[in-house]
Structure 1
Amino acid sequence: MLEVIATFARWSQLAANLILLGGCVFLFILSANKSAYAKKWPEKLERSFIGLAITIPIALLVIVFATILQITGDAVNLKHPGVWLNFLNETRVGQIWIGRFIFAVILLLFIIYLRKVTRVRWHYAACASIAALPLIASSFASHSAAEGVSISAIAPYALHQVFAGIWFGALPALFLLFYSSEQSVDVGTHRLAIETAQRFSIIALPIMILIILTGLVVSDRIFAEQYAALVATEYGWLLSSKLLLLGIILVIAWRVRPDWLPALQSNEQTEDGLVENRNNISKWVRIEFILALVLILLATIISNTTPAKYTPIDNWPFPFRFSIDATWNQPGVASQVWIGMAIVALAFVVIGWGQFRNWSGRRLVIIPMLLLLSGFAVTLPPLTIKAHPETYRQPPIPFDTTSIANGATLYAQHCVDCHGIQGKGNGIKSRTLSTKLPDLLMELHVNDHTPGDFYHWISFGMVDTDMPGYADKIPEEGRWDLINFVHALSRGYQARILTPEIVPDKAFAKPPVFSYTTQDGSHGALQDFRNRQPVLLVNFSWPQSKQRIEQLRHFYGKLREQNIALLAVPTKQLTTDELAQVMDDLPFPVVTQGFEEITASYALWRRTLSTPDIIGRGTVPDHLEFLIDRSGYLRARWIPSIDQSGWSDIDALIQQVNLLNRERMAMPFPEDSVR
């Protein structure tokens, strides 16, 4: 019950705020016609502003009551000022609520002021601007701001609400205008209704386009490319319902703007025809407003529903999914898709042609609809691939060196005979199989399918192939480890374009994370350096790398001045004497626990364009160094046996670090698990 009350309060506050904003914009447009001031209906609209303005702070109080009750679980706490102060001062939600409430009170005071003065045009512009402030403030508590407050995160959501207010809030004003026209015999009122509706329809189209565009930006961030959640999560279902309502509203607007409004202005229309068209507009504007109220309610519920990107899809409900990556290069797919898109485009051309030729409403709907359905029927089937219940299941195991090393062991035990040592599908049993195995190393097979697809295949096998299931042989965690190893294998090969020189503002290689213990017993993780400093990861052999270690020791002070961390990771267990030699007056840490997993995993990133290393077991260099930026991306790599001098020139290394430090690229951290 409490949640229902809170939802109703949020809906009432948002709807009242939007109506005030849109109503003021509408009156601003109307006031361009000085004769409008002589009409009585604007006074009726303005009288509703007081009630709407009072609704906003009252609803905000109900929202904060409900929030505190949900947090504390006891209504008695509402009597304690300390609980209120703690919530309002110590929580981000509380601080944002204070801003929203202050803006709501300012809006109420301005509406009261408007009732006591003679209104002029700038009053409505000022009122609309003030009405936008609570909406903008609420954006700071939206899903868009959940991962950080910035202009790029807040602006699309704030603009989406403001544009929605201009459109939605004008609907009751437009209805009231036509209702007054229906009740009046004054020709001037009738003409005013036509002119104002026509003027508003001119700005309504671009406003609706902006609503859709900002909504797409917001949704794209919330779904984080997991668009399958649109039909498989509560958030997606609510958003789909909202989009359906929006589609119906757009159809209504489409009929009003090109058909009924021009008919009202026509000199050839009979009086009965004009009345009929006017009544049609009034009726459909009323319906549009009711649908918009439901749409606002859905938006309110959506804003308090867990976003799609945080909702796991553990059970995909369909036996197929769409994938451009996995299908585009198959024979005939691209041409069929383009043909289908051409048919879809033709449907919109037919709509324009039909309006130009004054087709009947039924004909104008049926023919384009048939073309649209035909276009989608041609376009979508070639883009479908088989899906499984686990297809969109997210790995519970992070993409780290421990998991990759364990996956490598399991791969050697269960997979190498068929898939080959390096995953090229050329194992000793591959020639005896009835199906050709995919190249997991060099081809983009891993990118074409989801981790959940691989989990299903490893667990239950692949239908109509020789691939058996291993659910009874490999525990669930081990199956995810296998998936991490296969992804590391593929990612390492795809990163072969890396060199000792970074490409400024270009980051794509996502290396595995790791935890470690150093020689002095301190602990850490690669993620600790994010947002702080780049990392130079040195995988060294002893005594082969002795000269390089000595060089790094000598120039370490110069490197530290560049704000770079250095981690030395031995490729094998060092004896006590070897560790003493390495650690003699060494100013940077040496990893003594976790080194085996780190060196084995990062060895998969050894391949270069000049040395692909795809024959047999491959060769792991004695020494590799990696430069990882502050966001956690692998940006450069030096292999002395391949890249010649490279970073043995310390000035060359410092130059690369300087380039990283000067970057202002805003990149999200690599995902914790493979996608």
Structure 2
Amino acid sequence: MIEIIAAMARWSQLTANLILFGSCVFLAVIWQQKSILETPWMMRLEKIFPWLAGVIIAGLTGILATTTGDATGDVANAWNPAVWMEIVQQTQIGHIWAARMLLAIVLFCAVVKMQSSIRTRGHYVLWAMLAALPLIAGTLMSHSSADEMSFAAIAPYAIHILLAGIWFGALPAFLLILLNLRKELGITATQTAVDYLKKFSALALPVMVLLMFTGVVVTDRLVDEKYYALVSSPYGWLLNIKLAILAVILVIAYQARNRWLPLLERGENGPGSEGRAHMRQWVRIEFVLALVLVLFATILANTLPAKHAMIENWPYPFRFSIDATWDEPDVQDKVWSGLVLFALALGTVWLGIRLHWSSVVKILVPGVLGISSLALALPPLAVEAFPETYKKPTVPIDAISIVAGAHLFAENCVNCHGPQGKGTKPVADPDLRDPTDLLTQQHTAKYTVGNVFHRLSYGIPETEMPGYADKLSEEERWDLINFLHAMSRGFDARLLGSMIVPEMPSVASPVFNYAASDGSSGNLKDFRLQKNVLMVLFAWPQAKDRFFQLAASYDRIRDLNTEILAVPIHSVTGEQLQQITAIAPFPIVTEGWQEIKDTYWWYRRVRVVPDLSGKGMFPQHMEFLTDRFGYLRARWVAQFEGFGWQNVGALTLQLTQLNQEGEIMPPPGEHAH
């Protein structure tokens, strides 16, 4: 029940605010002289202004009440003003609400005060500005501001809301003008009404274009490339309904502007009477649809955005992926041909309007071309999908999970896929496919982690790949997937060297927990947005000379905003640890080292030594440079890459370059994707 009350409070507040703002903009646009104040429709419109301002205040009160009930988890608190005040005083959302209420009260007072004075265009401009402020303040409580309270995040949504108000708020004035023509007949009255409508119609076109553009910008931020959620989540379906309603409204607006308004302009009889009747009928429908549209927009604003949606059960047997299909034969030709057909369909829409085709032809020709373009372009982009296709991993990808997955791989997968995942065992049955190369073939475009989870759980038809749903727990299957992810990313890391590629992070550094000899402990993520990390995997005493080098340069390295973590690749005795710490002023990892070295072993390969046969080699000394955003940017494998960072100056040069870079990509997520 409280959810319904909350939705109605938000809807009534937003609707009243939009109408008041848009009506004032409309009046400011059409203002000609003071005689307009004496027109019946104008007086009727102004009479509702104080009521609209009052509804804004009442709606905000309802919003505070229902928000209090939700925030405290006790519905009874929704009707307790004392708890309301606690929310207002102690929370950010309460502070924003207080600002909105203050602005709404100022608006109410201004509307009531100025109604008793002789109004000019300036009064309506002032009212519009005052009505805009609560709308703008409301964007501070929107999805757009939830992730980032910044001008860049909020401005597109604020502009979108104001543009919606300019269009939607003018509809009541439109209706009142048209209804007034029933009583006030005559060429002069009709022509005056037409002049008003044409003035605003000229403004409405760019407003609608900008409204759709800002809507795309706002939606793109809330979808964040998870476009599949638009057809599989509550947010997506609500948005689709909203867009469908908007499409109908645009058709009505087009007819009103290009067909019925010209008829109305012809006079009060004949075509003019027909135009007047159609305008009244369809603007009524447009206004009702606009009210419904605002309702869906209100619900949408309080629905989990698509980018955060959890798609546990993908309802379709396919999905579209450009990355997975673009290089397949004939795909590009078909897609480009489809786009040409679609452009042709749009061209026929314009041509039909220009040449005055019949209504049937106007719809039929572009419709056939549009459907044909989709039928040609979309099927080549489709790939197989399963209910788990967009399932999110429940196990974070870290060293512990990767090592656990490696053990599971050794127990269950090595016989077919080989110790390094190359899939070296051929299948005797010619009707069955050979085991997949999990190391060097890219699967992330064609197969999401959810797809891999499905295949791992239920097997792959026409192969010897069995399902493991009965043998491995869900957590174990995610561990195995995390390992496969790290294994293939490790192969990608072969392209790294001792010199960073500026502004091009690509491989995430596997995170890990550790405890060190100096008493420090933590996670690799603790250094994000703060320091670079040079991780040294070493064997003792072979690394003694290198440790002397790093110790001598440690202050310089720290001045370059970089910490060194030294990780042994073999167990060290207490005596050896004393020898190491006597030389090294940097932390020596004493707990978690096994998981770290086993994980980063998969990132050992270099371009000239791919190391794909057998169980692989284990270099005795490797150094990995992770930037402060969590990406592996350079690596030195002493056994394969010669001099490299043995000259510490070469290392500090890379650190200097890293420190000159800003954030290029957000830090890696906690889960494989």
TM-score tier, shorter chain, comes to over 0.9
User: Matches of residues 283-322 of structure 1 in structure 2 within 5 Å?
Assistant: 283-322=281-320
Question: In 2, are the aligned partners of 1:621 and 1:639 still within 8 Å (CA)?
Answer: yes
Q: Establish whether residue 196 from structure 1 lines up as the match of residue 190 from structure 2.
A: no
The C-alpha deviation readout for 1:612-665, integer Å capped at 9, x for no partner, is 333444434322222222322223333334444443343443343333334333
**Structure 1 position 205, deviation (Å):** 2.5
Q: Do residues 407 (structure 1) and 408 (structure 2) align?
A: no
Partner of 1:420: 418
Question: What is the CA–CA distance in structure 1 between the aligned matches of 2:536 and 2:600, rounded to whole Å?
Answer: 10
1:526-537 to structure 2, matched below 5 A, reads: 526-537=524-535
Residue of structure 2 in register with 1:181 after alignment: 181
Q: 1:389 is matched with which residue?
A: 387
Q: Spell out the pairing of 1:572-591 with structure 2 (5 A cutoff).
A: 572-584=570-582, 586-591=584-589
Name the structure 2 match of 1:546.
Answer: 544
Structure 1 length as normaliser, TM-score?
0.93
3-state SS of the aligned residue for 2:445? helix
1:123-168 per-residue CA deviation (whole Å, 9 max, x = no partner) reads 3233222222222222221122222212222122222212211111
Decide whether aligned partners of structure 1 residues 559 and 138 sit closer, same or farther in structure 2, where only a CA change above 3 A counts.
same
SS for the counterpart of 1:502 is coil
For residues 27-79 of structure 1, give each alpha carbon's deviation from its aligned partner in whole angstroms, at most 9, with x where no partner exists. Answer: 12112577745644233222221111111121111111222233341636855
Structure 2 CA distance for aligned equivalents of residues 317 and 643 of structure 1:
50
Counterpart CA distance in 2 for 1:333 and 1:66 is: 52
* Aligned counterpart, 1:607: 605
CA distance in structure 2 between the partners assigned to 1:34 and 1:610 by the alignment: 84
Q: Which residue of 1 is the match for residue 76 of structure 2? A: 75
The equivalent of 1:46 in structure 2 is 46
Q: Secondary structure at the match of 2:54?
A: helix
What do residues 441-494 of structure 1 show as CA deviations (whole Å, max 9, x unaligned)?
Answer: 233223321111101111111122232212222222111111111111222223
Q: Which residue of 1 aligns with 2:143?
A: 143
Q: CA offset at residue 257 of structure 1?
A: 2.7
Q: 1:368 to 1:236 in 2, by over 3 A?
A: same
Is there any run of 5+ residues in structure 1 with no aligned partner, and where? none
Kindly state the Cα deviation for residue 668 of structure 1 after the two structures are TM-superposed. Answer: 2.5
Task: Provide the residue aligned with 1:330 in structure 2.
Answer: 328
Work out the CA distance in 2 between the residues paired with 1:666 and 1:110: 48
Q: Is the 8 A contact 1:418 1:430 kept in 2?
A: no
**Which residue number in structure 1 is paired with residue 94 of structure 2?**
94
Residues 1:648 and 1:602: Cα distance change in structure 2 (over 3 Å):
same
Rounded to whole Å, the distance in 2 between the matches of 1:399 and 1:411 is: 16
Show the counterpart of 1:250: 250
Partners of 2:163 and 2:6 in 1: how far apart?
A: 25
Aligned to 2:61: 61
- How far 1:395 moved relative to its partner? 0.6
Cα offsets for 1:5-41 (capped at 9, x unmatched): 1111110011111112211221121125777456442
After superposing the two structures, state which structure 1 stretch, 399-408 or 625-634, moved more. Answer: 625-634
Q: Deviation of residue 605 (structure 1)?
A: 2.4
Alignment check: 8 A CA contact 1:439 1:445 kept: no
Per-residue deviation, 1:121: 2.4
Within the candidate set 509, 517, 520, 1:519 is matched to 517
Alignment partner, residue 26 of structure 2: 26
What secondary structure does 1:334 align onto? helix
| 1:515 Cα deviation from its structure 2 partner | 1.2
Partner SS state of residue 217, structure 2: helix
In the alignment, the residues of structure 2 paired with residue 233 and residue 540 of structure 1 have an alpha-carbon distance, to the nearest angstrom, of 49
Structure 2: runs of 5+ lacking an equivalent = none
Q: 1:270 to 1:294 in 2, by over 3 A?
A: closer
Kindly tell me: are residues 645 and 46 of structure 1, through their superposed partners in 2, closer, same or farther at Cα, counting changes over 3 Å?
Answer: farther
TM-superposed CA distance for 1:673, in Å, is 0.5
For the 8 Å contact 1:438–1:445, the answer to whether it is kept is no
Q: Is the 8 A contact 2:432 2:462 kept in 1?
A: no
What's the CA shift for 1:365?
Answer: 1.6
| Distance in 1 of aligned mates of 2:428 and 2:200 | 69
Output the CA distance in 1 between the equivalents of 2:558 and 2:460.
52
Are the counterparts in 2 of residues 181 and 190 from structure 1 also a CA contact under 8 Å?
Answer: yes
Task: Tell me the alpha carbon deviations over residues 239-277 of structure 1, each in whole angstroms, 9 at most, x when there is no partner.
Answer: 221122122212222322333334444x6x893112212
> In the alignment, is the contact (CA less than 8 A) between 1:419 and 1:430 conserved in 2?
no
CA distance in 2 between counterparts of 1:386 and 1:551 reads 54
Tell me what 1:502 maps to: 500
Q: Is the 8 A contact 1:179 1:282 kept in 2?
A: yes
Give yes or no for contact 2:242–2:296 (8 Å, CA) kept in 1: yes
Moved more, 119-128 or 142-151: 119-128
Distance in 2 (CA, whole Å) between partners of 1:262 and 1:625 is 76
Retained in 2: the 8 A contact 1:417–1:428?
no
Corresponding position of 1:115: 115
Equivalent position to 2:626, from 604, 619, 628: 628
Cα separation, 2, equivalents of 1:124 and 1:602: 67
| Residue matched to 2:444 | 446
- Quick one: distance in 1 between partners of 2:57 and 2:415? 70
Distance, in Å, in 1 between the alignment partners of 2:126 and 2:656 is 49
Q: Indicate whether 1:124 and 2:145 are aligned.
A: no
Determine if the alignment matches structure 1 residue 567 to structure 2 residue 565.
Answer: yes
Contact 1:230-1:236 at 8 Å conserved across structures: yes
Identity of aligned residues (%): 45
Give the stretch that moved more between structures: 475-484 or 527-536. 527-536
Deviation at 1:221, TM superposition (A): 2.5
Distance 1:508 1:43, change over 3 A: farther
Instruction: State the partner residue of 1:363.
Output: 361
Which amino acid counterpart does residue 143 of structure 2 have in structure 1? H
Q: Secondary structure at the match of 1:670?
A: coil
Q: How many Å separate the matches in 2 of 1:134 and 1:386? A: 48
Matched, 1:134 2:134: yes
SS of residue matched to 1:668: coil
Alpha-carbon distance in 2 for matches of 1:130, 1:637: 59
- Note closer, same or farther for the CA distance 1:185–1:270 as it changes in structure 2 (3 Å cut): closer
> What code does the residue aligned with 2:242 have?
K
The answer to whether the 8 Å contact 1:430/1:437 transfers is no
1:517 and 1:591 in contact (8 A); partners too: yes
1:158 aligns with 2:152: no
Verify the 8 A CA contact 2:539 2:569 in the aligned structure 1.
yes
SS in 2 for 1:88: helix
2: CA distance, partners of 1:15 / 1:638: 62
Residues 541 and 281 of structure 1: CA distance in aligned 2, closer, same or farther (over 3 Å) = farther
2:221 is aligned to 221
